[in-house]
Chain A
């Protein structure tokens, strides 16, 4: 290989530069841009704790979907002893009223496009 040393050095520099943001975030211990999500408009307790919800709300929603549609079990008791309807539109969105600044902001950040909203209704959508 002609100029092998220079080529390899160049490649290494290129890779280091490419991965620099990742190493920077790892070293500083926090992401440089984190979407800020709107706080729930009402209610001070979620149906699960918020760390679980941040990472696993999609699993919970899938679980709820199967329980409601397939088993017909529509209600559950939350951590505060209150009864919740297992419903995205009627329960989740009744506290997290602003879908754009709660759901969408994080979904956009992560580049995921859940299709919940193809069918389930965001309460504000009903008002023209």
Chain B
């Protein structure tokens, strides 16, 4: 086959044009505003208020953690050293160690307090993460996790003063009782924790622990909205936060 230079230039020029045309068509085909079935819940500073008295009344109820762990494919290991927890219950004196004393109110001595990630305003876990696999969302203050990016170094586990982070020492898949297909599992070597159900908020749903609590002891809302229920509760009732002296500014408040 013979081709002189002029013909070659002409053909290659046409080919380049064709390629560019194809690429721009691809660009034009993308991105029009989303049209979701249910409007997402939006806030600029999500917070959770825990009504301990109501929670106390329910005794050993674990509806919140069961619902959460079912929703998020959290595995259940026999060995407590392997345990993965997003929301769970601890004794009052462990949760509020600086509040504990010999003559603590009898009811509080025995109360099991729900604990979860505090979604701190000043999260120490975020500061130490070398890959930005965990970060604080600008738009609503959720301390998020990107499990794709987590390299399993566990700095965040050490940095978190609340023990809110769990590490997958083993492959979690075989230990999930019933796998829910619309949420991924995690793999071995990844840290996980509560994400304030950001995937549910995006679908206009309350976090699953809040939805599951029959006592209405968990109240979720936006602190930046002065008319929100959380703001009203914080204004009217005395609330405490975990380890306030550390300056992490937790966004989970406990009414005692």
Segment at the A interface, from B13-21, B89-97, B117-125, B184-192:
B184-192
Q: Are A73 and B34 in contact (CB under 8 A)?
A: yes
B137 interface contact, C-beta 8 A: yes
Complex-state Cα separation, A119 to B73, whole angstroms: 10
Q: Are A83 and B34 in contact (CB under 8 A)?
A: yes
Residues of A within 8 A of B181 (CB): 89-90, 121, 123, 125-126
Interface residues of B in 106-165 (CB under 8 A from A): 137, 139, 144, 146-148
Segment at the A interface, from B23-31, B234-242, B243-251:
B23-31
Complex-state Cα separation, A125 to B187, whole angstroms: 16
How many A-B contacts at CB < 8 Å in the complex?
59
- State which of A72, A89, A118, A125 has its C-beta within 8 Å of the C-beta of B139: A72
A25 interface contact, C-beta 8 A: no
| Interface membership of chain A positions 115-128, coded 1 if the CB is closer than 8 angstroms to chain B and 0 otherwise | 10011110101100
Closest CB-CB distance, A26 to chain B, in whole Å? 16
User: In the complex, which residue of chain B has the Cβ closest to the Cβ of A122?
Assistant: B181
Complex-state Cα separation, A73 to B178, whole angstroms: 28
Interface SS, B side = loop
Complex-state Cα separation, A115 to B148, whole angstroms: 10
Q: Are B182 and A90 in contact (CB under 8 A)?
A: yes
Residues of A within 8 A of B183 (CB): 121
Closest CB-CB distance, A118 to chain B, in whole Å? 4
Complex-state Cα separation, A77 to B187, whole angstroms: 31
The total of chain B residues at the interface (CB under 8 A) is 28
Q: Are A70 and B202 in contact (CB under 8 A)?
A: no
Complex-state Cα separation, A48 to B146, whole angstroms: 26
Residues of A within 8 A of B137 (CB): 72
Residues of A within 8 A of B144 (CB): 69
Q: Are A76 and B186 in contact (CB under 8 A)?
A: no
Given A70-B146, A119-B187, 17 other A-B contacts at CB below 8 A? A52-B26, A69-B144, A69-B146, A69-B148, A72-B198, A75-B35, A76-B30, A76-B31, A83-B35, A83-B36, A89-B182, A89-B184, A119-B185, A120-B184, A121-B180, A123-B181, A126-B180
Complex-state Cα separation, A76 to B148, whole angstroms: 21
Closest CB-CB distance, A90 to chain B, in whole Å? 6
Residues of B within 8 A of A70 (CB): 146
B32 interface contact, C-beta 8 A: yes
Using a CB–CB cutoff of 8 Å, the interface residues on chain A facing chain B are 48, 52, 65, 69-70, 72-77, 79, 83, 89-90, 115, 118-121, 123, 125-126
Closest CB-CB distance, A65 to chain B, in whole Å? 6
Closest CB-CB distance, B70 to chain A, in whole Å? 13
Residues of B within 8 A of A120 (CB): 184
Closest CB-CB distance, B188 to chain A, in whole Å? 8
Complex-state Cα separation, A123 to B181, whole angstroms: 6
Residues of B within 8 A of A118 (CB): 187
Complex-state Cα separation, A56 to B186, whole angstroms: 25
Closest CB-CB distance, A81 to chain B, in whole Å? 8
B233 interface contact, C-beta 8 A: no
Given A70-B146, A118-B187, A119-B186, does the pair A79, B29 have CB atoms closer than 8 Å?
yes
B179 interface contact, C-beta 8 A: yes
Residues of A within 8 A of B35 (CB): 75, 77, 83
Q: Are A121 and B185 in contact (CB under 8 A)?
A: yes
Q: Are B179 and A125 in contact (CB under 8 A)?
A: yes
Complex-state Cα separation, A69 to B150, whole angstroms: 13
